[in-house]
Structure 1
Amino acid sequence: MDTQSMALSGNERKLMGTLCLLIIFGNINMTMFNLSIPSISADFALTSSQVSWVMVGYSILMAIGAGTYGKLTESFSFRQLYVIGLILLAFGSMIGFFAASYLQVIIGRLLQAAGASSISPLSYAAVTLYFKPTVKGRVLGTLSATIAFAFRLRACVRRFRGAILWLACFVHRVQSEPICYPYDIQVCS
């Protein structure tokens, strides 16, 4: 095989970069709230079983949404589904950020899950549709490596457990200092 057929075009590189960023964003969004459960519980005077619905509801909708978005690709374009998913994610983030009650936090988190559940299935399905057969394996490998990177990045964010205000999880703000130093592994795990 020649190197010309293995090279990604400019549009393919842009699409792969966008898919990787969405996967990082989706994975960090998935567990960022786990760090803030004690703060949410204290702010709304909730028991641990009550506040656990922030995680449980999100997980249930993620599982349902992944299959649903996968099936919807037969009827709608990837672009339409991605736009719908990202709008739901953004709308849920706004509701959660301005939440004055625990019910609003739950509604915001469920809308986030409905949107975020589109990211992984649509990203992997987009590879099969928009990339040349000679580069599909490389792109799928890059997306999978991105998931591993995002998982490690989530672990590094644990360092800021006390510094993360739970409202900031809705807009994904993190302190301006570096998240993880290369040789500071014991802090990041």
Structure 2
Amino acid sequence: MNKENNRHEIVKIAFILILGAIAPMLDTTMTNVAINTIMNDLNSSVDIVQWVTTGYILSLGITVLFTGWAADRFSGKNLYIAGIILFLIGSIFSGIASNIDILIIGRLIQGAGSGIVVSLLSTLIVRAAGGKNLGSLMAIVGLPAVL
């Protein structure tokens, strides 16, 4: 029975982590469909508006490089929460942006938060599971990607 309770706890942890990672996982390419609207609403050119997406992905990629080191050095839970908060701050900046510069800054902040959250997702689940039942856990992790 203890083994079954442990499995339920790990699945619960996985779903909580995934719930927090859905927005960062979906946000990577979300602005691609709104480039024309962003250009018109913020009076900007295509060259500058493309930095909304490019900056996000660049920030995400750079943050991923340091997240593994930070996860070993600091608490994975606290780092994950910091990533969610950073993503939220970037989302608020992006949401209230009245010009393209603020939107790009917001997206850079979002990308950094997303890099932390997305890269820690699998790491924290594998650590919680102790390396057991990884197939079913990775299927759960893949659910947001399917969405």
TM-score (norm 2): 0.88
Measured after TM superposition, the shift of residue 4 of structure 1 is 7.6
What's 1:57 paired with? 55
- Contact kept, 8 Å, 1:82 with 1:118, in 2: the verdict is yes
Runs of 4+ in 1 over 4 A off after TM superposition: 3-8
Counterpart residue identity of residue 73, structure 2: S
The separation in 1 between residues aligned to 2:55 and 2:19, in whole angstroms, is: 24
- Contact kept, 8 Å, 2:15 with 2:140, in 1: the verdict is no
Alignment of 1:79-94 (within 5 A): 79-94=77-92
- Contact kept, 8 Å, 1:16 with 1:139, in 2: the verdict is yes
Measured after TM superposition, the shift of residue 14 of structure 1 is 1.6
Q: Percent identity?
A: 26
Is 1:141 matched up with 2:139? yes
What's 2:71 paired with? 73
What's 2:99 paired with? 101
The separation in 1 between residues aligned to 2:145 and 2:25, in whole angstroms, is: 10
- Contact kept, 8 Å, 1:26 with 1:116, in 2: the verdict is yes
Unaligned runs of 5+ in 1: 151-189
Per-residue CA distance 1:112-134 (angstroms, 9 max, x = gap): 11101112210111122111433
TM-score (norm 1): 0.70
The separation in 1 between residues aligned to 2:5 and 2:29, in whole angstroms, is: 35
The separation in 1 between residues aligned to 2:59 and 2:24, in whole angstroms, is: 14
Is 1:14 matched up with 2:12? yes
Is 1:33 matched up with 2:31? yes
| Higher percent of residues as helix | 2
How many correspondences in the alignment?
A: 147
Alignment of 1:121-136 (within 5 A): 121-136=119-134
The separation in 1 between residues aligned to 2:67 and 2:131, in whole angstroms, is: 23
- Contact kept, 8 Å, 1:92 with 1:108, in 2: the verdict is yes
The structure that has the greater radius of gyration is 1
Question: Are the structure 2 counterparts of residues 4 and 83 from structure 1 closer, same or farther at C-alpha, using a change threshold of 3 Å?
Answer: closer
Counterpart residue identity of residue 105, structure 2: I
